[in-house]
Amino acid sequence: MGSPTTSREAVLEAAKKMLADGLVEGTAGNISGRLDDGNVCLTPSSVAYETMTLDDLVVVDLEGAVVDGHRSPTTEKDLHLSVLRRYSEIGAVIHCHAVHATMFALAHEPIPAVIEEVVVYLGGEVPCCAYRGTGTRDLGEEVAAALADRGAALLANHGLVTCASNPEKALHNAALAERTAQIVWGTRAMGAPIVPLPEKVNTDMAGVYRFIRDNP
């Protein structure tokens, strides 16, 4: 079975929705999608999402060499390419700076999987990667390792990264991780202890995640 692929249009649409949904501001964050020919469509560096067009997107090969486009690809391209190189079942990666998720990233604390849909869509808790500098290959390797069995991971002192079969689903994962971080933060603010899901539910639903991921 081949890898899931997507279109440049889907990458652009997810980029604009990411801004509209408040998951990034300004020109922060970036999105990638695997194309039919095996290359990768990336959002460009330093272009506002409001005015971004298909012409601004950049196509690179899996090693990062520009194949098409007149812009520079996002400076975080290694983060995207390391995930897409390693996992053939993944077709899109999103990086954003969602506020509540980033609060957990500052604390180097995972977002716990205490809501059923988190386990189904993200595979379990959202782990926090070891700190590595922005835009480095080392950061890409850390992220790729963390996403072996997860749909989202935190970048220490930085933000959130998610993956899925296409940009729309990767954006859904980002919104879910962000919403969960906000809910967990709020529950803690209530002073109430968070009751974990039954272990069997966690195990069974993690199995569902694996099945969906392997059968995009």
Do the Cβ atoms of 124 and 207 come closer than 8 Å?
A: no
Is beta strand 40-42 parallel, antiparallel or unpaired with respect to 159-164? unpaired
Interface map 108-137 toward Zn ion (x if CB under 5 A): ------------------------------
- Closest distance to Zn ion from the beta carbon of 75 (Å): 9
Tell me how far, at minimum, the Cβ of 31 lies from Zn ion, in Å: 12
Site string for Zn ion, 156-195 (x = CB under 5 A): ---x------------------------------------
Give how many residues touch Zn ion by CB under 5 A: 1
CB of 211 to Zn ion, least distance (A): 31
- Does residue 109 have an active-site annotation? no
Identify which range of 47-55, 86-94, 151-159, 196-204 contacts Zn ion by CB under 5 A: 151-159
What is the nearest approach in angstroms of Zn ion to the Cβ of residue 28? Answer: 6
Tell me the residue number closest to Zn ion, measured at CB.
159
Token pair in block for residue 122: 């993200």
Which stretch in 8-16, 103-111, 120-128, 155-163 sits in contact with Zn ion by CB under 5 A? 155-163
Positions annotated as catalytic residues are 76
Interface residue list for Zn ion (CB under 5 A)? 159
